[in-house]
A and B are shown apart, each in its own frame.
Chain A
Amino acid sequence: MTKPLEIEQEIPIVVSRGSSKSYALQESALVKWTLITISLAFLALFLILPLISIFVTAFENGWATYVASITEPDALAAIKLTLTVLVIVVPLNAIFGIVAAWLITKFSFKGKNVLITLIDLPFAVSPVIAGIVFILLFGAQGLLGEWLFEHDLYVIFALPGIVIATLFVTFPFVARELIPLMQMQGITEEEASISLGASGWQTFCRVTLPNIKWGLLYGLILCNARAIGEFGAVSVVSGHVRGMTNTMPLHIEILYNEYQFTAAFAVASLMSILAIITIIIKNIIEWKAKDV
């Protein structure tokens, strides 16, 4: 994933392109509009039409069916489970992201680059593998399987398994946003605060946090979106128990495979609205960060 926050921060100096018309500094209008048309056509085909089709299919049988699809007990259970997972996963990974970013940007030590690569590791791993590793660890034949069974603890095909698989796939999001940002800000402000007698915690709350709040929020939004939508990893560890261990994406899969297309797309439309809100918040944050 790239660092879009940085994209906006450097405002390019545009040297009056229009004034030097004798040089070939711009494409002809024909080339320009051809490229714009190609771009828009590509985006329409791959992004806009799929998005529109979700809402059209969701409302195909009218408003009443739509409401019924998203308020039936299994759908509500799926929504509740997804929210529960979210409430556990996002704060845990946010704390880790802040701690790891503090460690990496405030101190110098050997093996720092290796550590950064290890933090990024979950991005490189297929979601299906992110699921299977927890089966190998906690499953019936897994390393801890017998111990868990003896103590009546259920991880796989239960909430803890879904939570830990989601923790894995969303692991790097907050850290990845904070590390470059805090690296850029350096350590002089924190040093000044400490030498004036503030404690480490005071320094973090009053000096560091205000400096990183937009980057942190941005990481949280990305982590949130992925935690809501994770499919592959959760699919492996959940066991697809209806009304019990089905998150929203898994509920959509079941409805779709049962040819209940309208219901599947109704739940999908809810998730699409969340995705659109995510994009809007992201743009507001980028705009705010540029102002600071």
Chain B
Amino acid sequence: MELTLKKRKKNTIIPGFSLTLGYTMIYLGVIVLLPLSMVFFNTLSMSWSEFWETIAHPRAVASYKLSFGTALAAGLLNVVFGTIIAWVLIRYEFPGKKIVDGLVDLPFALPTAVAGIALATLYSPNGWIGQFFDFKIAYTPLGIIIALTFIGLPFVVRTVQPVLQNLGSELEEASASLGATRLQTFVKVIFPELLPAIITGFSLAFARSLGEYGSVVFIAGNMPMKTEITPLIIMTKLEQYDYVGATAIASVMLVTSFVLLLVINIIQWYTNRKFNLH
């Protein structure tokens, strides 16, 4: 299919190439590329020492560590629970399964600010859930992890689910008939097949978590050096009209996201190639 397409498209009779190419490039340029290039354009106008002082400021560094650490923790939580949820939704039948399956999309559909105030109220010291704990959850890094877990859950579930669904039963049957226990079959046969999807889901959730703002600000407490995430530093600088400083931090975040995007694409390219070889 792919091969014949490639051969034929060279001299296709379908019209509209220059029109669609022109429109796509102009729209992409105006809405996405030109605005994004402004970050680098403005960063270049700063002196190196000025740039370095801004991005290596202790408060900024503390925020990188916090954003990175909480995104990592939330991503790992989602890997464990997201995979279990995907497994349960594909392999088992239980009452209300359809509703549960639909609910997994809630973090995609619910506005981040709404999620933020709901989670902050629930996990605050006298909230429905917070009251059962002796230690504070909201307004600590723990609260940030909870908000990021909420945001990232569908990424893992929705990437693992289709792979699990399309997994043929032959391998499992072969493994079982050769005497493997169910646990052995899972660890040695099923899990390796799921791993690329789990890694992709984790990277997507992680990338989203690094930049997340709306759901986190309400539950984070926003204490400098303690619970201040990197996007909030940018926000604070903007409110103080420190556009140069905000841009410098933004450029650090942008480069990080581009590197992550590259890693995700390489993983996907690698897995596609692996599966095509089968």
| Partner-B contacts on A (CB < 8 A) | 1-2, 4, 6-7, 10, 12, 14-15, 17, 20, 23-28, 31-32, 35-36, 38-40, 42-43, 45-51, 53-54, 57, 96, 99-100, 102-103, 106-109, 115, 117-122, 124-129, 132-137, 139, 141-143, 164, 167-168, 171, 186-187, 190-191, 194-195, 199-200, 203, 222, 225, 228-232, 235-236, 248-250, 252-253, 256, 261, 264-265, 268, 271-272, 275-276, 278-280, 282-283
List of B residues within 8 angstroms of A265 by Cβ: 117-118
Given the complex of chains A and B, what is the CA–CA distance between A125 and B32 in angstroms?
Answer: 10
Instruction: Give 18 A-B contacts (CB < 8 Å), ordered by A residue.
Output: A7-B158, A24-B181, A39-B100, A46-B153, A53-B122, A99-B20, A107-B21, A108-B10, A119-B28, A125-B211, A129-B250, A132-B238, A136-B42, A136-B247, A187-B5, A199-B15, A229-B113, A282-B105
Given the complex of chains A and B, what is the CA–CA distance between A199 and B257 in angstroms?
Answer: 43
List of A residues within 8 angstroms of B128 by Cβ: 49, 53
4 closest Cβ pairs, A-B complex? A126-B211, A229-B111, A231-B214, A232-B213
> Do B85 and A271 touch (CB < 8 A)?
no
Q: Mark B106-118, 1 if CB is under 8 A from A, else 0.
A: 1111111111011
Given the complex of chains A and B, what is the CA–CA distance between A229 and B112 in angstroms?
Answer: 7
Q: Which of B92-128 contact A (CB under 8 A)?
A: 92, 94, 98, 100, 102-115, 117-119, 121-122, 128
Given the complex of chains A and B, what is the CA–CA distance between A23 and B213 in angstroms?
Answer: 49
> Do B5 and A278 touch (CB < 8 A)?
no
CB distance from A218 to the nearest CB of B (A): 12
B225 at the interface (CB under 8 A from A): no
Where chain B touches its partner, the secondary structure class is helix
Given the complex of chains A and B, what is the CA–CA distance between A265 and B211 in angstroms?
Answer: 25
List of B residues within 8 angstroms of A45 by Cβ: 129
List of A residues within 8 angstroms of B6 by Cβ: 108
> Do A132 and B109 touch (CB < 8 A)?
no
> Do A129 and B107 touch (CB < 8 A)?
no
List of A residues within 8 angstroms of B15 by Cβ: 194, 199-200
> Do B110 and A275 touch (CB < 8 A)?
yes
Contacts A252-B113, A268-B118 given; 13 further ones with Cβ under 8 A? A12-B167, A24-B180, A25-B172, A46-B149, A50-B119, A53-B121, A100-B20, A106-B12, A128-B211, A187-B12, A199-B15, A229-B110, A280-B102
Partner among B17, B27, B28, B146 whose Cβ is within 8 Å of the Cβ of A46: B146
> Do B176 and A102 touch (CB < 8 A)?
no
Q: Which of B1-17 contact A (CB under 8 A)?
A: 1, 5-6, 8-10, 12-17
List of A residues within 8 angstroms of B218 by Cβ: 253, 256
CB distance from B33 to the nearest CB of A (A): 7
Given the complex of chains A and B, what is the CA–CA distance between A22 and B108 in angstroms?
Answer: 43
> Do A249 and B114 touch (CB < 8 A)?
yes
> How many chain B residues touch the partner (CB < 8 A)?
104
> Do B85 and A43 touch (CB < 8 A)?
yes
List of B residues within 8 angstroms of A38 by Cβ: 81, 84
> Do B103 and A54 touch (CB < 8 A)?
no
B56 at the interface (CB under 8 A from A): no
Given contacts A35-B87, A272-B110, contact A133 B180 (CB under 8 A): no
B44 at the interface (CB under 8 A from A): no
Partner among A43, A47, A133 whose Cβ is within 8 Å of the Cβ of B36: A133
List of A residues within 8 angstroms of B204 by Cβ: 1
> Do A124 and B261 touch (CB < 8 A)?
yes
* A32, A43, A143 — most chain B CB neighbours (10 Å): A43
CB distance from B168 to the nearest CB of A (A): 8
CB distance from A158 to the nearest CB of B (A): 17
List of B residues within 8 angstroms of A187 by Cβ: 5, 8-9, 12, 14
Partner among B24, B122, B176, B247 whose Cβ is within 8 Å of the Cβ of A99: B24
Given the complex of chains A and B, what is the CA–CA distance between A191 and B8 in angstroms?
Answer: 11
B273 at the interface (CB under 8 A from A): no
List of B residues within 8 angstroms of A271 by Cβ: 110-111, 114
Given the complex of chains A and B, what is the CA–CA distance between A44 and B198 in angstroms?
Answer: 22
List of A residues within 8 angstroms of B17 by Cβ: 103, 106-107, 109
Given the complex of chains A and B, what is the CA–CA distance between A57 and B104 in angstroms?
Answer: 23
List of B residues within 8 angstroms of A47 by Cβ: 103-104, 106-107, 150, 153
